[in-house]
Structure 1
């Protein structure tokens, strides 16, 4: 009997093999405590820094100068490659998303979004299309050109959004299901120099929260799924007043009930807790807690909705937290070693 038939939940951890990581790590999830137990690894792909799961198939970017994506069968205890990695013909892919019959990658170094074909068995085919960004921002050395950092579908499934750190924009596009071509629909400009990195949608679908990397803030936006329009509303800090030293936010997560947001912040090595008002249009920093490691590159909510998981890249571990359902404040509950950890996803 495989893990899916047994009703077990699985976690998959990405890591930088160039920094001593083990590649893709598979783990079982204890449904009560949220604890992770490693069951297998695969180093078949270099630097699988971000992962996405679709049924029994796990996808990974290869965040290298050449740039590639790979597919794994995860019905067994360890990931099994479904063919060789497929070049994305772009440099430094950092994020990916499954959208219909395509796999999309956000290519940080090239400043583009690439669409790849998916085969009947879940494997990957050739590049189908590419959306290239242009422009720059005011922060020298970080915004000299476009740097697409995240790509994801909106909750309605009608649109694709990508977040560009280099140009301070979020671009809304349409993916043609028959050809895999990406057609830009509208670009939303955020405050210059904020360096947007990732966004998360409110569970009701009417708002999006853009986490900025170059300034430790969160931009609250209204999302109109009918028109495909993202409208910035307010901006709020994700670190306490008086925080010292560089602060680089990495990931934002929305609570399933829409009451809280959590953000991981590198440098300060904290998890920010933000409360949302009932409309979703206002976010307020409640507190920050230590992430339990160093340089939290990713933050993920577990399948039960009661646990948060931080992938701490520089301390080489994944920590998990139990979330107080009333206050939203996470309490450290455990950790496992995961050298050069970069993300966690669940199935």
Structure 2
């Protein structure tokens, strides 16, 4: 892909921001990223996809993928151009409803379908275009929260750093499934399932950069579960829990954690917490398995649905859904604590990706 498709005319990089069109969002927003300050400048918006709440960029081709978080769940693919985004064909059904997350693994596109409690795997063409039909793995199980855990609710699906395994986080069944590609069906098969504490509602996970530790963030309780990851065996082993919302944090009783991010250098961990509307910094100075919660700062808006680090790890970006903005922060290199540096209006913002 031409570098001009990934940068603006001033030499800065670009990012893409997903949003809920049903909540007043403009679909997928393209913004220029100032390389010196990290500031965002909105360039264009593409509203051809309904509710593109989560985005992913293929690292090898630069193709942008978006879920359509609707009852008839679908995915769309775009090739970035100097003028915005060019669709690579029509939307492709995922065979599940309410997809909330997607990722690229081993030449396939994966989606976590929240409403139907399933994970889908779609083939990708040479140009990055997704095809069908999707192979669907349906989760089983439930949890004690009758309102939120009456059935499985897959919320995230992510390959491990080796690319051999796929981890699926299920809020409804309080578990993480380790899956492997099934050569017979082209889909996924469950290799193992790791139960987590009942009623906590695991939502998202992040790998430590060394690939041996996984941090699972829970939505229904403000907790972080630390797990050992054994890639050779495909085994995830919980080793401890850490509270996410510090005592005395504003709105801690209404805390709904949403996203967890590890710094590229492995020194820090950050979590976004909705309701409390804070970003919490964890130090990993005592080891990857021993995150220590530190300062909590305001997220710069309301309801931070997503939190990401830029490729350098020097800045964080929070997609604040209810206040309709993306706020960026400078990370203190000694403490890891983020400091608000600016924001840009993006109605119903849900996700930020770079590339």
| Shorter-normalised TM range | over 0.9
Contact 1:322 1:330 in 2 (8 A): yes
Contact 2:261 2:269 in 1 (8 A): yes
CA shift, 1:270, in A, is 0.2
| From 85, 93, 97, the counterpart of 2:103 | 97
Q: Secondary structure at 2:254's aligned position in 1? A: coil
Change (3 A) 1:178 1:157: farther
Look up the match of 2:349. 341
CA shift, 1:177, in A, is 6.5
Look up the match of 2:40. 36
* RMSD over equivalenced CA pairs, Å: 1.4
Contact 2:112 2:120 in 1 (8 A): yes
* CA offsets 1:272-315 (integer angstroms, 9 cap, x no match): 00111443111111110000000000000012211000000000
The answer as to 2:265 corresponding to 1:257 is yes
Look up the match of 2:331. 323
* CA offsets 1:30-84 (integer angstroms, 9 cap, x no match): 1110011122111010000000001331000000011110001113231121111
The answer as to 2:170 corresponding to 1:164 is yes
| From 41, 45, 52, the counterpart of 1:48 | 52
| From 87, 92, 98, the counterpart of 2:93 | 87
Contact 2:264 2:312 in 1 (8 A): no
Q: Secondary structure at 1:125's aligned position in 2? A: coil
| From 2, 5, 21, the counterpart of 1:3 | 5
Change (3 A) 1:9 1:178: farther
**Structure 1: how far apart are the matches of 2:128 and 2:182?**
19
Contact 2:94 2:134 in 1 (8 A): no
Moved more, 93-102 or 175-184: 175-184
Question: Unpaired runs of 5+ in structure 1?
Answer: none
| From 78, 101, 113, the counterpart of 1:72 | 78
Contact 2:177 2:193 in 1 (8 A): yes
Moved more, 317-326 or 38-47: 38-47
Question: Unpaired runs of 5+ in structure 2?
Answer: none
CA shift, 1:213, in A, is 0.4
| From 17, 22, 29, the counterpart of 1:25 | 29
Contact 1:94 1:149 in 2 (8 A): yes
Q: Secondary structure at 1:245's aligned position in 2? A: helix
| From 283, 294, 307, the counterpart of 1:275 | 283
Using the size of structure 2 for normalisation, the TM-score is 0.95
Moved more, 50-59 or 237-246: 237-246
CA shift, 1:245, in A, is 3.2
**Structure 1: how far apart are the matches of 2:230 and 2:37?**
38
**Structure 1: how far apart are the matches of 2:121 and 2:189?**
12
Contact 1:24 1:79 in 2 (8 A): no
**Structure 2: how far apart are the matches of 1:306 and 1:209?**
20
CA shift, 1:9, in A, is 1.8
Moved more, 169-178 or 128-137: 169-178
**Structure 2: how far apart are the matches of 1:327 and 1:178?**
49
Using the size of structure 1 for normalisation, the TM-score is 0.97
**Structure 2: how far apart are the matches of 1:21 and 1:178?**
41
Contact 1:114 1:127 in 2 (8 A): no
**Structure 2: how far apart are the matches of 1:105 and 1:260?**
28
